[in-house]
Amino acid sequence: MRFVLPLAAVAFASLTTYWLGSDPVVAALGLIAAVIVSAAFDRVAGLFAAVLATISLVWLTALHDAATERHIEGLEIAIFAIVAILVATIVTRERRARRTARLAERETEFRIRVTDAVMRGMPVSEAVDMGARGLSQIYELAACTLATSTTVSTVERHPKHGRLFNITTGKISAAVTAREDLPLNARTLESLTVLVTTLGVLFDRATLEQELDRTRIDFETNKARAVFFAAAGHNLRTPLASIRVSLSTLLDAQAELIATEREELIQTAYDEMLRLENLVTNVLTLSRVRSDQSTVDLQPVDLGEIIKVTVNRIEPIAPDHTLVVDLPAALGMVPLCQTMIEQVLTNLLENAVRWAPPESPVTIEVLAGPSQVRLSVIDRGPGVPAGAEEEIFSEFFHLAPGDPREGSGLGLAIARAMVEAHKGQLRYGPTPGGGATFTAEFPVVDPTSPTEHRILVDHGSDE
């Protein structure tokens, strides 16, 4: 192309001048225009066009002299040749300057995009992919492979492969293949090396920051796990001690017990055993819901039917309360995990009837919108003191330690964990006129979407 274009441009200018019968001055202007067009494509093309234009001008001048009997001096031809070469050189340098400016602009924009993406938390593997694609586009490469200590990304954009360049700097390396028709010059290769070095520094920093974040998360998780199991161990000691005392008294041969005392000790041991079983079940449930292996299986369910079943199960243990259900006229099917939602509602209702005064209503209210479903349990109990609105969702938290109405302290924690497993929210708010309102909000998602939702949990409650 670098030789075809000058030939075509000079030939067009020469033949046009010849057909129009123009004098050598006009011919020179046309040939200079052909040089400019050729030089805008390539430096070699511009110089080649200057040579062709000089030769063509000699030919056109000879024809003109023969027709007009006027002689053009060789000095004029030499001046034209010098002017043509200077024009080709100037146009080529201007073209190169514009290309360098555009390249620098693209490099700057690319640095900003990659830096912004990494600072926003993009994984290093995705950032390396972004880097390989960006280098290929900026430098119009045939292929580019970018590799760090943990990630390799290859991009191929053009079938005509030219020379291969290997760049290694720090912990990053690049194998770039220039296009056969667009070779990389020394200046461009230097610019490419600088950009690869910049990416290497950026990726190293991102890797260190992400490793630091993972270490911090692991530390906080282990710390929370240690606190959790310490609290669990503390709560397990009470029923175990009661069971041990009751059984040791029954086994003591010297203890003179009447029948009613024996029955009372046996009943105490049995009740504490049930309490211990429930506590262990709740601890296991909370651990499984929060573990990476807990998964939610979303299926279209009849939320109204779930509420009806749960209310029927709670009514026998709440004879002094009226359970009121407020559902929208056309609720329809909602994508939820039935097992989890039954447990969430059970825990919230048990908490409500435990604290609400006798003869007071406990209301289950559902509001359905296009993007979410809101399930609320409303009571007329004492509510939650200011400042403890979030603490009540902590494991083994008790508002009134020693109060017989207190449960294991896990019911609300389990309910929130199950709601959050649905990508929803469970929060507390005061009931107007006094009481507590617990509201669970569930996003309405398509259960057939690629987002994974699974479940592998047991039942648990706050009792």
Same domain? For 314 and 435 the reply is: yes
Phi and psi, residue 78, nearest 5°: -65, -40
C-alpha distances (whole Å) from 278 to each of 32, 34, 286, 460, 463 are 96, 92, 12, 7, 7
113 domain-assigned: no
* 145 within domain boundaries: yes
Q: Is residue 334 part of a domain?
A: yes
- Provide the pLDDT for residue 155: 87
C-alpha to C-alpha distance for 443 and 433, rounded to whole angstroms: 29
What span, in angstroms and rounded, lies between the C-alpha atoms of 15 and 66?
17
Element (H, E) at 70: none
Rg (CA), the chain: 41
Q: Specify the pLDDT at position 319.
A: 84
Give the position of tokens 């909370």.
286
pLDDT at position 70: 53
- The reply to whether 196 and 249 lie within a common domain is no
What pLDDT sits at residue 188? 83
Q: Is 278 part of a structural domain of the chain?
A: yes
Distance of CA 25 to the CA centre of its chain: 67
In a domain, 12, yes or no: yes
CA 377 to chain centre: 34
- Residues 195, 162 within the same domain: yes
Q: Name the H helices within 291-401.
A: 303-314, 338-355
pLDDT at residue 22 in the model: 61
Same domain, yes or no, for 317 and 427? yes
Q: Are residues 319 and 389 in the same domain?
A: yes
Q: Rounded to an integer, what distance in angstroms lies between the CA atom of residue 35 and that of residue 21? A: 21
- Domain count of the fold of the chain: 4
- Name the residue range of residue 251's domain: 216-290
Residue 313, domain member (yes or no)? yes
- Spell out the residues 6+ positions from residue 147 whose beta carbon is closer than 8 angstroms to its own: 128, 153, 172, 173, 174, 175
Q: How many Å is the maximal CA-CA distance in the chain? A: 151
Q: Which of 205, 206, 138 is nearest to 174 (CA)?
A: 138
Alpha-carbon distance 135 to 113, whole Å? 13
Given this model, what pLDDT does residue 448 score? 46
Asked if residue 192 and residue 266 are part of one domain, the reply reads no
Distance between CA atoms of 203 and 205, rounded to whole angstroms? 5
Q: Are strands 361-368 and 322-326 parallel, antiparallel or unpaired?
A: parallel
Q: Which amino acid is at 152?
A: V
- Secondary structure element (H or E) that encloses residue 253, with its range: none
Whole-number Å distance between alpha carbons of 211 and 192: 28
Following DSSP, what letter does each residue of 216-233 receive, concatenated?
HHHHHHHHHHHHHHHHHH
* Alpha-carbon gap, residue 254 to 268, rounded angstroms: 20
Distance (Å) of CA 31 to CA 10, 15, 56: 6, 11, 8
Are 167 and 280 contained in the same domain? no
Q: How far is 432 from 425, CA to CA, in rounded Å? A: 21
- Residues 268 and 247: their CA atoms lie apart, in Å, by 10
Same domain, 309 and 436: yes
- pLDDT for 430 equals 92
- 144/196 same-domain check: yes
Question: Would residue 107 count as lying in a domain?
Answer: no
- Rounded Cα distance, 257 and 252, in Å: 10
Q: Is the domain of 303 the same as that of 434?
A: yes
Q: What is residue 462's predicted lDDT score, i.e. its pLDDT?
A: 42
Q: Which of 66, 98, 130 is the last residue of a domain?
A: 98
Q: What is the pLDDT along the chain (463 residues), one digit of tens a residue?
A: 567 777 677 777 777 776 766 666 677 777 777 777 777 776 777 777 777 778 777 777 776 655 555 555 667 677 778 877 888 788 778 877 787 788 888 888 888 888 888 878 788 888 888 888 888 888 888 888 888 878 888 888 877 777 888 888 777 888 888 888 777 888 888 888 888 888 888 888 887 877 887 788 777 666 656 655 665 565 566 567 778 888 888 887 667 777 888 888 888 888 778 767 766 776 676 667 766 445 677 888 888 899 998 888 888 878 888 899 998 877 778 888 888 888 889 889 988 988 888 889 999 999 988 888 999 999 998 888 888 888 888 877 777 655 556 666 778 888 888 888 888 999 999 999 889 999 999 987 654 444 333 333 333 334 3
Helix (H) / strand (E) containing 393: none
Specify whether 437 is located in the same domain as 319.
yes
Q: Does residue 104 sit within a domain?
A: no
- Give residue 378's identity as a one-letter amino acid code: I
